[in-house]
């Protein structure tokens, strides 16, 4: 068996046999592939730290006929703070699932790899609200893989951006009032939403910090992008339910604490 060394980041973890894990790994040089981490669920295993969702590591692998085997690894960043918070975990899991769902096996793309690494690092360092970081990832990732949304003009008739008030998930960008009928799924996109969308496309993660997920544009952009993704991904992303569950829990917590503040 051939031995291969590469850097990689873990997009998916599945338990296998009694103590093993199967990892889906994204590498800048090897592309996306699966590897078995034997014994990784034993606490003292040298692979236990690597065989976790979001971990970035330098790896040595035996190239197998059907699946690779992780031989040894050195963690570059475990991104453990993502896993320590339910909201970060939900959005991080969504980023990982989206990256997995929309990349082909064994087709290296170092720009996609860098983007996934930057996104996990931003979530780990809490550089901005997790929802904003994930939204920034969606916009940038789709652009990188060939689905760049049109945000400078109406995607249908080229009317200037100031005349657009809709985002068409099927049309692939902003739509004016006249053209919105061409996309039955068009969502309203006011000036705040359009500004946020352009900012997310243009800004590196380090400058997302001044964007707050409570700003008015967020809801429309998130709604539009989720539908945009939904039309282009071939399977239902199960992590979306995780996000909905966690964010609705947050709202219930807020409502119940407000209730406690009120008179009995």
Q: Where are the beta strands (DSSP E) in the chain?
A: 2-16, 20-27, 31-37, 56-63, 68-77, 164-168, 173-176, 187-188
| Among 150, 17, 5, residue whose Cα is nearest residue 68 | 5
Q: Rule CB under 5 A: is residue 159 a binding residue for Zn ion?
A: yes
Q: How far is the CB of 197 from Zn ion (least distance, A)?
A: 17
Q: Which is nearer to Zn ion, 99 or 171 (CB)?
A: 171
Q: Which of 67, 157, 202, 249 binds Zn ion (CB under 5 A)?
A: 157
- Which of 73, 175 has the CB closer to Zn ion? 175
The verdict on 166 binding Zn ion (CB under 5 A) reads: no
Q: Least separation, in Å, of the C-beta of 178 and Zn ion?
A: 5
| Pairing verdict, β 31-37 and 20-27 | antiparallel
What is the radius of gyration, based on Cα positions, of the chain? 20
Which letter does DSSP use for residue 148 in this model? P
If binding is defined by CB under 5 A, does position 55 make contact with Zn ion?
Answer: no
Question: Is the CB of 40 or the CB of 179 nearer to Zn ion?
Answer: 179
Please give the backbone phi and psi of residue 67, each rounded to the nearest 5 degrees, phi first.
-145, 145
CB closer to Zn ion out of 75 and 159? 159
* Distances from the Cα of 61 to the Cα of 20, 76, 235, angstroms: 15, 16, 29
Residue 1, class by beta-carbon neighbours within 10 Å (0-12 exposed, 13-18 middle, 19+ buried)? exposed
Using CB under 5 A, count the residues that bind Zn ion.
Answer: 6
Of 154, 171, 208, 225, the residue at the interface with Zn ion (CB under 5 A) is 154
* Choice from 61, 176, 222, 237 touching Zn ion (CB under 5 A): 176
- In the complex, the smallest distance separating the C-beta of residue 177 from Zn ion, rounded to whole angstroms, is 8
- For tokens 């031995």, the residue is 3
In the complex, least distance from residue 150 CB atom to Zn ion, rounded to whole angstroms = 11
> Rule CB under 5 A: which residues touch Zn ion?
154, 156-157, 159, 176, 179
């Amino acid at each position: 068996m051939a031995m291969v060394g590469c850097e990689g980041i873990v997009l998916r973890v599945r338990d296998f046999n009694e103590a093993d894990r199967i990892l889906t790994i994204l590498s800048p040089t090897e592309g996306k592939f699966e590897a078995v981490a034997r014994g990784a669920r034993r606490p003292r295993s040298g692979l236990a730290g690597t065989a976790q969702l979001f971990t970035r590591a330098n790896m040595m692998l035996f190239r197998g006929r059907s699946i690779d085997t992780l031989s040894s690894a050195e963690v570059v960043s475990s991104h453990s703070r993502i896993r320590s918070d339910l909201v970060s975990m939900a959005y991080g899991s969504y980023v990982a699932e989206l990256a997995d769902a929309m990349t082909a096996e064994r087709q290296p793309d170092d720009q996609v790899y860098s983007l996934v690494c930057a996104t996990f690092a931003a979530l780990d360092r809490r550089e901005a609200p997790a929802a904003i970081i994930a939204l920034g990832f969606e916009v940038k990732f789709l652009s990188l893989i060939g689905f760049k949304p049109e945000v400078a003009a109406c995607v249908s008739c080229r009317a200037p951006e100031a005349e657009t008030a809709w985002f068409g998930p099927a049309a692939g960008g902003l739509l004016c009032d006249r053209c919105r009928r061409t996309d039955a799924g068009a969502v309203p996109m006011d000036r705040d939403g359009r500004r946020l969308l352009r900012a997310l496309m243009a800004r590196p993660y380090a400058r997302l910090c001044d964007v707050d997920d409570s700003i008015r544009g967020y809801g429309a952009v998130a709604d539009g992008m989720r539908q945009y993704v939904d039309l282009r991904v071939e399977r239902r992303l199960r992590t979306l339910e995780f996000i909905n569950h966690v964010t609705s829990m947050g709202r219930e917590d807020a409502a119940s604490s407000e209730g406690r503040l009120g008179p009995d």
